[in-house]
């Protein structure tokens, strides 16, 4: 068996690692891009877009930006007939509607948990069975047979 450098992680291994859990997928840019492509094909990309918007929102430090970002997230994903309206229950939507008047970094946490859970239980398993994912894994395997670091 060939010895590989400790810094080497084959594209196949990386692509296969996405199947371990959704966090691994979401923290890898190529994985996230593939997942988004899959969700677009299923007309449910608003879920990952909302999740990403919440992740970005939680990093906001300026109070004015917190308020403006909260309003943007609310109008884009939460309010009735929003352009990218996510599917959440009435009580969560109602709670956010009240919280957005004086937003905190936690005002979308419940909805984000619901959407993450929905993606983890529904979209993610379908993604792993999708042609998009299978083609990625297969293309990495075929290309990887001859790919070695130049200094090995």
If one compares 133 and 57, the residue with the highest pLDDT of the two is 57
Domain 20-130 grouped into CATH 1.10.167.10:
yes
Quote the pLDDT of residue 85: 96
Which two three-digit tokens encode residue 21?
């859990």
In the block, which residue shows the tokens 């068996």? 1
CB 96 within 8 A of CB 54: no
pLDDT in tens, 95-132: 999 999 999 999 999 999 999 999 999 999 999 999 98
pLDDT confidence band for 14 (50 / 70 / 90): confident
Residue 44: DSSP 8-state = -
148 three-state secondary structure: coil
pLDDT in the model for residue 140: 66
What are the sequence ranges of the domains in the chain?
20-130
pLDDT at 150 over 50: no
For residue 18, name the pLDDT band (cuts at 50, 70, 90): confident
pLDDT score recorded for residue 7: 39
């Amino acid at each position: 068996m060939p010895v590989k450098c400790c810094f080497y992680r084959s594209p196949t291994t990386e692509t296969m690692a996405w199947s371990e859990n959704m966090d691994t997928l979401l923290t890898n840019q190529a994985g996230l891009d593939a997942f988004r492509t899959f969700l677009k094909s299923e007309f449910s990309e608003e879920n990952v877009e909302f999740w990403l918007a919440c992740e970005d929102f939680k990093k906001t430090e300026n109070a004015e930006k917190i308020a403006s970002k909260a309003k943007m997230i609310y109008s884009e994903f939460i309010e009735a007939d929003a352009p990218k309206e996510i599917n959440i229950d009435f009580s969560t939507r109602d709670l956010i509607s009240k919280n957005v008047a004086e937003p905190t970094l936690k005002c979308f946490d419940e909805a984000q948990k619901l959407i993450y859970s929905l993606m983890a239980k529904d979209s993610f398993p379908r993604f792993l069975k999708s042609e998009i994912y299978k083609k990625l894994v297969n293309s990495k395997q075929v290309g990887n047979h001859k790919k070695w670091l130049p200094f090995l």
